[in-house]
Amino acid sequence: MKRLLALSLALSISGLSGCASMFSGSTQNITIATINDKNVNRTRCNIRNEEGAWTAAPNSAVSIHKDGNTMDIQCENDSQNGLTHADPDFNGGYLALDLILDLCIISCVVDGVNNSFYQYPAFITVPMTDKR
């Protein structure tokens, strides 16, 4: 009886919060690395998606909000700049789990609003070129 009650409680909680939100979250850490960077100590990278904007130094981790759209990364120092884009991956496994647990009634909405189904690459490289 206790086991059934515990299982029932766990399924209710997961149904109210969404599997992807519980296990993956709405934020993630990414690291930006620059290639051919002649002045890495003065380079700053601006990261932007539809959920917000962040600034980071190369080779350091930054926490961003997940989004289902392309993320733009623009790096710049005194003599160089670089631009790249990163597309998120969609994790259909969490969607399947949401369907199983509560037929996607609540959990899919929660995970969709949080963008928890998506994951950007953890490591992104930006090629730097000389300014003209």
Residue pair 31/68 in contact (Cβ under 8 Å)? The answer is: no
* Tally of domains in the chain: 1
- What pLDDT is attached to residue 12? 47
**Containing structural domain, residue 38:** 2-130
- Measuring CA to CA, which residue among 43, 92, 44 is closest to residue 68? 92
Q: What is the pTM of this model?
A: 0.75
Q: Return the half-sphere exposure (C-beta side, CA atoms, 13 A cut-off) of residue 48.
A: 5
- What pLDDT is attached to residue 96? 58
Alpha helices in 2-105 (DSSP H): 2-17, 19-23, 92-102
Joined tokens for residue 3: 């086991």
- What pLDDT is attached to residue 7? 42
- What pLDDT is attached to residue 4? 45
What does residue 58 show for φ and ψ, rounded to 5 degrees? Answer: -60, 150
Q: Report residues of the chain scoring pLDDT below 70.
A: 1-25, 92-116
Q: Which strands sit side by side in the sheet containing 27-35, from one edge to the other?
A: 61-65, 27-35, 123-127
